[in-house]
A and B are shown apart, each in its own frame.
Chain A
């Protein structure tokens, strides 16, 4: 009897957390999955019914869906890629000793702690084609001869929103990689010095392998977050002009806002599947390397 109670005890302890997760994660996911098989449009509540794979068929024949998917791939690849590169550079810089390092470390976090909505609004005015500070700066430097309506042209709107997300995400990588850098034993570098290794060799033979797990986890997290992020794009452009900045998550948000919840759920499920195809092999490689290591 006593042994039985002991076996049950851990399950009882995790039960509140499990029930909470079920209520706030699994139930909505299940509901979204069910809605993806329904014509669930609150503008036409009397026509809500199960339609099987109709929404999926509609998505696959919707040019805007494919365009948004392509935009998402570019958004994630360019956004996360650049965040990683610049974040790594910042981490290496902040890992060195120099006067005022504490202040620089604190200041570098500002973009990361600023809410996405605020970032969107702030950059909207920075990019403004009439009064924006970026245009003013470029004109003063003589790099342009006339103001550029960055967010009003399809050719510049998407690079502009990508630049904004890069700016936002650099501190996250810098912070995580800095923590990783500080965990690398100094002895490794000392030994490499004794062996006559140069800076590049030390970087690729010691620093990068030591940070491998951190790089894998942070990159994966950022891929998921950036792919799902709506706030920055929505507040900058709402997905325009002419859908040129509409990623899949923004398309889902726009459809959801117009209350076509069935179609929005379908695209959300497809986005989740697309992310899973990236995340699962990624995690597999990570775990395999950990086991091997």
Chain B
């Protein structure tokens, strides 16, 4: 009788264990959307998903699906998909889209998972605060992933040729733009422009450094300081220190101009460094955008989010955590050269010994973001490029342009 009881007890235990284990290892599929700047990054993301699938031990399968960044249209594609009741479980994300997504209740509040996540403190608290600020709430809806700090790429050989030292102040930077504009073949035409200006969509980020260097702020573009920064930007173009194509030059154009030797300096982040090294070897270096009255550079950001349609939220968080502080963080940041958010990954030799990473880290203390409002996306995509193009081509004065930019972003 006693054996029978023991046998029954053991059986019950066995059944319970089977159910418990079954619950943990029940196959779960998470669909993840992302964008990649080049085919290599696509491959890396697929490798990360495969690595996670093979090692998570919880039966989670991530299906990583790539969508084009398309100059920021990715966010709109994602928005439309989720608003229409579809879309992925998780997705790569840009902070500027947060108000749009939270206003429509499309993101899952990550606070419950963050509260019990052991790796939480591996990410700097200030980053969580930035995420909260972007949502306009006290909650974190967006999981940090990596950042890109804008800095100035330059060609040391051109600096030597023109006898220019690496600028340490804003005035020196403007002077370097002038000196590095020169004629190589003596035909009286400019062959190299000092500054590779980005006047098309996305150009607001480098432009912001000029505004703040003169002491302006993004809260009020109409101050004399902000207008002075705008005037510097206009002068660089009007005086011929930037290519004539600048009003329509976007990412591809500024990179092509720099790589072809058309420009001596341009502003972008570490994401371009691998391509720059491939092109120039050691004849490319970087310095943080110098300060004047004020100092600011743009902190580009890429995060991940969990979308409202996600059913398997614990599994989805496992994946987001893997990207933020796990092997996924190391693999992605090593391949792309982006600045990791995980303090552990930042300490790895690859990041400590990279000259572009050093400049990124040097710029981090004064790196920031534009005000995230419900007007920001339109301001970035149409108002800024068209207004600045009007100012660059002389259709508007600096003060008029700044008034228009103020109205576009702040509504007054």
Contact = CB atoms under 8 A, between A and B. Distances in A.
A128 B245 contact: yes
Contacts of A210: none
B99 A131 contact: no
B243 A130 contact: yes
B292 interface: no
B381 A254 contact: yes
Given A42-B83, A42-B100, A241-B390, A258 B245 contact: no
Interface string A142-159: 000011010111100100
Nearest to B72: A257
Contacts of B386: 239-243, 246
A260 B262 CA distance: 39
B385 A240 contact: yes
Interface string A212-244: 000000000000000000000000011111110
B257 A130 contact: yes
A60 B80 CA distance: 29
B262 A257 contact: no
Interface hub of B73, B247, B377 (most chain A Cβ within 10 A):
B247
Contacts of A152: 199, 244-249, 389, 393
A46 interface: yes
Interface string B226-266: 00000000000000000111111100010011001010000
Contacts of B249: 152
Contacts of A45: 103-104
Interface residues of A, number: 30
A149 B256 contact: no
A259 interface: yes
B395 interface: yes
B382 interface: yes
Contacts, number: 99
A134 B256 CA distance: 18
B269 interface: no
B378 interface: yes
A241 B388 CA distance: 9
Contact of A129 (B243, B375, B378, B389): B243
Nearest to B249: A152
A260 B76 CA distance: 12
A44 interface: yes
A154 B395 contact: yes
Nearest to B237: A152
A154 B248 contact: no
A43 B100 contact: yes
A260 B245 CA distance: 31
Interface hub of A45, A239, A260 (most chain B Cβ within 10 A):
A45
A241 B396 CA distance: 13
B256 A238 contact: no
A46 B393 CA distance: 40
A169 B257 CA distance: 33
A156 B256 CA distance: 23
Contact of B103 (A44, A146, A238, A241): A44
A28 to B, nearest CB: 14
Contact of B79 (A131, A153, A259): A259
Nearest to B382: A254
B201 interface: yes
Nearest to B201: A238
Nearest to A132: B245
B393 A153 contact: yes
A240 B257 contact: no
A257 B73 contact: yes
B189 interface: yes
A237 B248 contact: yes
A258 B382 contact: yes
Nearest to A145: B189
Given A130-B243, A153-B393, A257-B76, A240 B103 contact: no
Nearest to B377: A258
Interface in A110-143: 128-131
A44 B385 CA distance: 23
Nearest to B76: A257
Contacts of A146: 189
13 contacts: A42-B83, A42-B104, A129-B245, A130-B243, A130-B256, A131-B256, A153-B393, A237-B248, A240-B389, A241-B386, A241-B392, A258-B381, A259-B100
Interface of B: 73, 76, 79, 83, 99-100, 103-104, 189, 199-201, 243-249, 253, 256-257, 260, 262, 374-375, 377-378, 381-382, 385-387, 389-390, 392-393, 395-396
Interface of A: 42-46, 128-131, 146-147, 149, 151-154, 157, 237-243, 246, 254, 257-260
Given A241-B248, A241-B389, 12 more contacts: A130-B257, A149-B245, A149-B247, A152-B246, A152-B247, A154-B389, A154-B395, A238-B385, A241-B247, A241-B386, A258-B381, A258-B382
The 6 closest A-B pairs by CB, nearest first: A241-B389, A242-B390, A129-B245, A258-B378, A43-B374, A149-B245
